[in-house]
Amino acid sequence: MSDKCGNCDCADKSHHLEEVAAGEVMGSLPMDQAFVQAPEHRAKPSVAEADGIPVIDLSPLFAADGVDVDVLAAEVGRASRDWGFFVVVRHGVPEEVVARAAEAQRAFFALPPARRAAVARSEAVQMGYYASDHTQNVRDWKEAFDLVPTRHSPLPLPSAMVLDNKWPDDLPGFREAMEEYGEAVEELAFKLLELIARSLGLRPDRLHGFFEDHQTTFIRLNHYPPCPSPDHALGLGHHKDAGALTVLYQDDVGGLDVRRRCDGEWVRVRPIPQSFIINIGDIIQVWSNDRYESVEHRVVVNVEKERFSIPFFFYPASYTMVEPLEEVVSEESPARYNPYSWGEFFSARKNGNFKKLDVDYVQITHFRKNAPVHVQ
């Protein structure tokens, strides 16, 4: 994987100007119609706080005897089955590492729009800054910066999209803080992967091979500015995460909603200091043959306060074929999904985030057996 500095070449100038304009719209101008959600997807003025969300203490993972690991795995399994997400505390990621990353994130988004746009992503190189993201073909009220943990070297994706970093060259300590954060959170992600494997009755390292070489994991720095019409727009539209796991840091403002499985209602996830929120993604749903299900979620915005979050998207190598694991299928419980290429799926989703498409947002339901064939 190569790294690029913050200087734009001529080919990127037009996109650079688009992102400058997008950043200025987020900060000062009236809301464009592109942000307006369909009435059925808008947030209600009041959303109930979620009760009973699993909060899991991971400290047994760091105990010398490890006697509680199977109990912990069962707890993770229940949360993955019943909620599709959970909160972890005493997780082993140093508090100062998180603090440095959060401070660097705020420093980046405090830069003037033109300086943020100097490291703008492009359709071919989709790491970097942008303020024009789409979810379900509706623009999100946010700006973001994507980066790949640098100790990994993702292979080019089927669409010829590359995952090269664009680092701001005038923000001392930014790169170091993000690399440190990525390394620490990846260690946590592998530990969670082992707990999920144990909960499915698999050997702890059963899923490691999908992530050891050329993984497509990336980190996203999200900034949700105050919104003039939070009753019409969303910071992030309703969706499910495409990958295996998402490890999310959020600040104390709040705004993450999940769709509760028992009744389909949206509920608000209260921020807990020094914690991470863990989302089960589509890949775990397929690998588990629907024993675990990815959770639908969204981000709401408000008029007064900005919000920051850092999701770590734990993704396998682009050449991975995703299908139910052979250990979880049987004659009584046959595979519910056809195999699909992660690289092609990931490329389609990234392109859908980058611009409004004329085709449906690709979902794992398109690969469910006996489902209609999805045409891109």
Q: Which long-range contacts (CB under 8 A, 24 or more apart) does 68-73 make?
A: 69/195, 69/198, 70/198, 72/195, 73/195, 73/196, 73/198, 73/199
CA distances from residue 55 to 99, 177, 229, 301 in whole angstroms, order as listed: 21, 27, 33, 25
Question: Can you tell me the distance from the alpha carbon of 301 to that of 231, in angstroms, rounded to the nearest whole number?
Answer: 9
Question: pLDDT-derived band of residue 7, with 50, 70 and 90 as boundaries?
Answer: very low
Residue 104 falls in which region: left (phi positive, over 0), alpha (psi -120 to 50) or beta: alpha
* CATH numbers and ranges of domains, the chain: 3-316+343-364 (2.60.120.330)
Question: pLDDT-derived band of residue 156, with 50, 70 and 90 as boundaries?
Answer: low
Strands 3-4 and 165-166: parallel
CA distances from residue 375 to 135, 177, 263, 362 in whole angstroms, order as listed: 19, 41, 32, 9
Contact 152, 214 (CB under 8 A): yes
What token pair was written down for 184? 């620490």
CA distances from residue 85 to 77, 198, 218, 276 in whole angstroms, order as listed: 10, 17, 19, 11
Question: Can you tell me the distance from the alpha carbon of 296 to that of 281, in angstroms, rounded to the nearest whole number?
Answer: 10
Q: Which long-range contacts (CB under 8 A, 24 or more apart) does 169-178 make?
A: 169/5, 169/6, 169/7, 170/6, 170/115, 171/104, 171/107, 171/108, 171/111, 173/100, 173/104, 174/104, 174/107, 174/108, 177/100, 177/101, 177/103, 177/104, 178/101, 178/104, 178/147, 178/219
Does 153 have pLDDT greater than 80?
no
- Find the Cα–Cα–Cα–Cα dihedral 82, 85, 90, 96, rounded to 10°: -170
Q: What is the DSSP code (8-state) at residue 277?
A: E
Higher local confidence (pLDDT), 71 or 66:
71
Which DSSP helix (H) or strand (E) runs through 245?
Answer: strand 245-250
* Residue 162, pLDDT score: 67
Over residues 270-303, the pLDDT tens digits come to 999 999 999 999 999 999 999 999 989 999 999 9
Question: pLDDT-derived band of residue 247, with 50, 70 and 90 as boundaries?
Answer: very high
Q: What phi and psi values does residue 302 have, to the nearest 5 degrees? A: -140, 170
Question: Can you tell me the distance from the alpha carbon of 318 to that of 183, in angstroms, rounded to the nearest whole number?
Answer: 20
Average of per-residue pLDDT across 28-51: 77
Q: What is the DSSP code (8-state) at residue 265?
A: -
Mean of all residue pLDDT scores within the chain = 85
Over residues 317-359, the pLDDT tens digits come to 888 999 999 999 999 999 999 999 998 888 887 665 555 545 5
Question: Can you tell me the distance from the alpha carbon of 79 to that of 332, in angstroms, rounded to the nearest whole number?
Answer: 24
> To 5 degrees, how large is the angle CA 265–CA 270–CA 275?
125
CA 296 to centroid of chain Cα atoms? 12
Does 236 have pLDDT greater than 80?
yes
